[in-house]
Structure 1
Amino acid sequence: MDQRLPMSRRSLLLGAAALGVPAALVGCGADTPATAPGTSSGGLGTVTIGSNASDEIPKKSLDAVVKGFTQATTKINTVDHNTFQENINRYLKGTPEDVFTWFAGNRMQFFAEQGLATDISDVWQEIGGDYTQAFKDQSTGLDGKQYFVPFTYYPWAVFYRKSVWQEKGYEAPGTLDEFTALARKMKTDGLIPIAFADKDGWPAMGTFDILNMRTNGYDFHISLMGGKESWTDPKVKQVFDTWRGLMEFHQPAPLGRTWQEAGQSLAQKKTGMYLLGMFVAQQFPEADRGDLDFFTFPEINPAYGTDSIDAPIDGYMISAKARNVDGAKALLKHLAQASSQDIATKLDPGTLAASSKADTSGYSALQKRGAELVSKATHIAQFLDRDTRPDFASTVMIPSLQSFVGKPDEVDSLLTSIEKQKVNIFR
């Protein structure tokens, strides 16, 4: 079942982008730490928030935004990002917080369909004018009701340090052959060409996404994510064959490395480039962020060029078991305000505001380039683990891609295994 809602570049950024359950994830309670207290002057009691913003910069960003919410007292329960994501299903069925951080599109629809999220269509009647139709589509369940408030988003691209490239005379490649030639030159120059990490399981998904969209196009990619194509199709095998050809340029031993560590290697000029989301900027000292730039992954198949990218949308939902629905809805309205998102994008250089009314004049050069990249893309995917069923992503694709990264020569048996598991999950 293809639950993915397509996004056109025009509707996405018409306005803004024109420029084992751990204890911490059990849920709210009296002892939940109040890491971002507001005031209760508005009389809406206490609103609890389950947050996956565990890295330093996103955590500070959320704290700052929530402190501006004065209609209720707020309590944030912050959990390691990967732990939160891996346990979300049991979390929502247990004793979740009122509001929780989550993702747009298929990931939102999946839990809305299971009755684990609260309908916030009434909230959208008030905030709808601040978003493009495409953002609303990505917030809408299969029943036509809204369950999600978009907050920020970020494009995936190939990032590099301008000073290193200027020193070495590197130029952004336009084709896969040019990309390979550049990587080979970097290797000769003593750099590890491509920073790479997959200890957490999801980063390799971004590499698969872009190689598949560049090779087979957006429509095939989304159909594959929806369980409608076979993983043993020669088209899919070609993607892995292409990826295997690039492995010699990847940072070695990626299964023991986090994306943060790979990002730091780019910041430290040990690696030449890194395919990741714009949030890689979080790993750069503030003084060095102006040296960070990117190019979109180059063309592989001329039939599709560079028309598609990943640009995931992050935001907030209300759990079906929320104790304070009125307070939670008031908080979501606060998070939807352009002024709230302006605070977030100022503090977090790797994000862009979802609201069409956000003040993009304060964007850094990198953020302006990111918004431009998204606005020019014909097709925008949400990322592999958001464009497919969460159980397929976590139980099949994470271990499968890690297996490929560890043993890239065993493609045929791997794809056969993925297809068999897919059939059982999507039937």
Structure 2
Amino acid sequence: MDQRMPISRRHLLLGAAAFGVPAVLVGCGSDSTSTAPGRSSNGLGTVTIGSNASDEIPKKSLETVLKGFTQATTKINTVDHNTFQENINRYLKGTPDDVFTWFAGYRMQFFAEQGLATDISDVWQEIGGDYTQAFKDQSTGVDGKQYFVPFTYYPWAVFYRKSVWQSKGYEPPKTLDELTALARKMKADGLIPFAFADKDGWPAMGTFDILNMRTNGYDFHISLMAGKESWTDPRVKQVFDTWRGLMEYHQPAALGRTWQEAGQSLAQKKTGMMLLGMFVAQQFPEADRDDIDFFTFPEINPAYGTDSIDAPIDGYMISAKARNVDGAKALLKHLAKGSSQNEATKLDPGTLAASSKADTGGYSALQKRGAELVSQATHLAQFLDRDTRPDFASTVMIPSLQSFVGKPDEIDSLLVSIEKQKANIFR
């Protein structure tokens, strides 16, 4: 998601519009709200939806799916994705919409534990047969109740243009040494090996995730995210040392570039590959999407191979302060339908349907490959800012990783700083 975090002046203004300040007072939030009416035929009234689907394709996807919901009128409050995440806590404690877009796993549990979400276990009694146990587990709070309905998900991998690789004779690497050799060859061929961006703060998290899981394994990674391991551990330093060794092959000036801009450089054949979620396909013209392929990040430590990937699950929750709970639950049942999710994945080439009842026959070649990658993984992480506390992710890890990207030689002092801040947050 991903599409997520730091606060710019524009984001603060948009956030004001979304979380309580009238849009007329904001001035620059022209697309902060949108309305997608349905036909109210059985008295369920209006269901309001707080949405982070601010990019053009996911925004259109949600609006299209809602056209099929005829039990109530729907009103969407669309907010810039990063702003939505930065303000979510204040939003849920204020006057939230009935339904809101959010993420599975730890991030869902965090708000459920605070009493900011509505128990939807009764909804799951009806839709449970449409999901695997893994998806249900990612929708379940620590109290054993369900609070989340999975809608779509997407794997992270290293994406590239098939035509470029075929013309240059490149092959997907199996090991870190092979990846480094490939990057060196791309550089000699006049390509920037890795498209890279971290202006928004979250893309670098994906690089940390995969390097940590490849180096130290899934269990250590999740334990680190939970605040149970030390950031000054030599195993963590090894991750940053490996990352530093790859930096010379990354697109420079990453802190001034959005993920969309980096994705466009891949589409324009200016860069050779890019580690990102499958939503990178949104940045390719439709006519070029058959030219996208990917490989899973290669092995670093043979003890773990390539058994783990990030595969974040996006979906919907009902706020604890929902004014129309009946209408909200009806909407979640609609969103849980395989047919609804099929509409979304047809419009958004970078996503996969979460429902087992979805028809994957209409998937593009890229989507089929993505589903295969996920099915082969032993462990699925939800992404750094979803697998840890939101305050730790936003106030500690975003600036820390951006600091590393800007000054990759200052590792020791950085890890000491992260550990000190972590100790104050995880008490």
State the TM bucket, normalised to the shorter chain.
over 0.9
Specify whether residues 391 and 15 from structure 1 end up closer, same or farther in structure 2 by C-alpha distance, changes over 3 A only.
Answer: closer
In 2, are the aligned partners of 1:50 and 1:101 still within 8 Å (CA)? yes
Q: Deviations over 1:227-258 (max 9, x none)?
A: 00000000000000000000000000000000
Change (3 A) 1:52 1:29: closer
| Gap change, CA 1:31 and 1:302, over 3 Å in 2 | closer
Q: In terms of mean alpha carbon deviation, does 296-305 or 33-42 score higher?
A: 33-42
When residues 343 and 257 of structure 1 are mapped into structure 2, their CA distance, relative to the original with a 3 A threshold, is same
Q: Which residue of 1 aligns with 2:79?
A: 79
Tell whether the 8 Å contact from 1:38 to 1:66 is kept in structure 2 after alignment: yes
Query: In structure 2, do the counterparts of structure 1 residues 56 and 11 end up closer, same or farther at CA, with 3 Å as the change threshold?
Result: closer
Q: Are the equivalent residues in 2 in contact too, given 1:9–1:377 (CA < 8 A)?
A: no
Are 2:34 and 2:78, in contact at CA under 8 Å, matched by a contact in 1?
A: no
Aligned partner of 1:124 in structure 2 is 124
Kept in 2, the 8 Å contact 1:19–1:368? The answer is no
Does the aligned pair in 1 maintain the 2:32–2:79 contact within 8 Å?
no
Instruction: Give, in whole Å, the separation in 2 of the partners of 1:326 and 1:69.
Output: 14
CA contact (8 A) 1:6 1:380 kept: no
CA apart distance, 1:351: 0.2
Kept in 1: contact 2:156–2:311 (CA 8 A): yes
**1:324 has 2:324 as partner:** yes
Structure scoring higher RCO (CA < 8 A, sep ≥ 6) equals 1
Q: Distance in 1 between matches of 2:17 and 2:26?
A: 37
- Does the 8 A contact of 1:162 with 1:291 survive in 2? yes
On the 8 A contact 2:215/2:304 being kept in 1, the answer is: yes
Structure 2 residue aligned with 1:30: 30
CA contact (8 A) 2:5 2:81 kept: no
Greater shift after overlay, 216-225 or 6-15? 6-15
| 8 A contact 1:115–1:320 mirrored in 2 | yes
How many residue pairs end up in the alignment? 427
Deviation, structure 1 residue 13? 40
Distance 1:246 1:98 in 2: 45
Where does structure 1 differ by over 3 angstroms across 4 or more consecutive aligned residues?
A: 1-34
Go from structure 1 to structure 2 and tell me whether the alpha carbon gap of 1:22 and 1:261 turns closer, same or farther (over 3 Å shift): farther
**Per-residue displacement from partner, 1:200-221 (whole Å, max 9, x unpaired)?**
0000000000000000000000
Once residues 170 and 330 of structure 1 are traced to their aligned partners in structure 2, the CA distance between those partners, rounded to angstroms, is 50
Summarize the Cα distance change of 1:383–1:73 in structure 2 as closer, same or farther, 3 Å threshold.
same
* 1:63 corresponding residue in structure 2: 63
C-alpha distance 384-401 of structure 1, shift in aligned 2 (>3 A): same
Shift of 1:43: 1.4
TM-score by length of 2: 0.93
SS, match of residue 328 in structure 2: helix
- Equivalent-residue separation in structure 1 for 2:81 and 2:10 (angstroms): 31
- How many Å separate the matches in 1 of 2:335 and 2:17? 19
Q: Deviations over 1:35-83 (max 9, x none)?
A: 2111111210000000000000000000000111000000000000000
Structure 1: state its 5+ residue gaps. Answer: none
Aligned to 1:155: 155
Q: Do the aligned partners of residues 167 and 191 (structure 1) sit closer, same or farther apart at CA in structure 2, a change above 3 Å counting? A: same
Query: Cα–Cα, structure 1 residues 26 and 213, in superposed 2: closer, same or farther, change >3 Å?
Result: farther
Residue equivalent to 2:257: 257
CA gap 1:298/1:9 in 2 versus in 1, 3 angstroms: farther
**Mapped partners of 1:426, 1:236: distance in 2:** 18
* 1:7 Cα deviation after fit: 32
RMSD: 7.5
Q: Could you tell me whether the CA contact under 8 Å between 2:4 and 2:83 is conserved in 1?
A: no
Provide the C-alpha distance between the structure 2 equivalents of 1:363 and 1:340, rounded to a whole number of angstroms.
Answer: 14
Distance 2:244 2:40 in 1: 56
Q: Deviations over 1:185-206 (max 9, x none)?
A: 0000000000000000000000
Task: Assess, with a 3 A threshold, how the Cα gap between structure 1 residues 5 and 54 changes in structure 2: closer, same or farther.
Answer: closer
Say if 2:11 and 2:82, in contact at 8 Å, map to a contact too: no
Secondary structure of the residue aligned to 1:17 is helix
C-alpha separation in 2, matches of 1:373 and 1:15: 36
Is 1:4–1:226's contact at 8 Å kept on the other side of the alignment?
no
Q: Distance in 1 between matches of 2:319 and 2:163?
A: 46
**Native 8 Å contact 1:27 1:97 kept in 2:** no
Cα deviation, residue 9, structure 1: 41
C-alpha separation in 2, matches of 1:199 and 1:10 = 14
Change (3 A) 1:197 1:7: closer
CA distance in 1, matches of 2:11, 2:371: 13
Does the 8 Å contact 1:10/1:375 carry over to 2? no
Is residue 32–residue 78 contact of structure 2 (8 Å, CA) maintained in 1? no
Shift of 1:15: 39
Cα gap change, 1:327/1:232 in structure 2, threshold over 3 Å: closer, same or farther? Answer: same
Cα contact 2:17–2:23 (8 A) shared by 1: no
Does the 8 A contact of 1:339 with 1:358 survive in 2?
Answer: yes
Conserved 8 A contact 1:112-1:141: yes
Q: Please give the per-residue CA displacement for 1:325-366, whole angstroms capped at 9, x wherever unaligned.
A: 000000000000000000000000000000001000000000
Q: 1:123 to 1:27 in 2, by over 3 A?
A: farther
Once residues 141 and 5 of structure 1 are traced to their aligned partners in structure 2, the CA distance between those partners, rounded to angstroms, is 24
- Shifted more, 129-138 versus 15-24: the winner is 15-24
Distance 1:105 1:24, change over 3 A: farther
CA contact (8 A) 1:106 1:388 kept: yes
Q: CA deviation at 1:26?
A: 12
More divergent stretch after superposition (350-359 vs 20-29) = 20-29
Can you list the C-alpha shifts for 1:255-305, whole angstroms capped at 9, x where unaligned?
000000000000000000000000000000000000000000000001101
The runs of 5 or more residues in structure 2 that have no matched partner are: none
Alignment partners' CA distance in 2, 1:10 and 1:27: 10
TM, length-normalised to structure 1: 0.93
Deviation at 1:145, TM superposition (A): 0.6
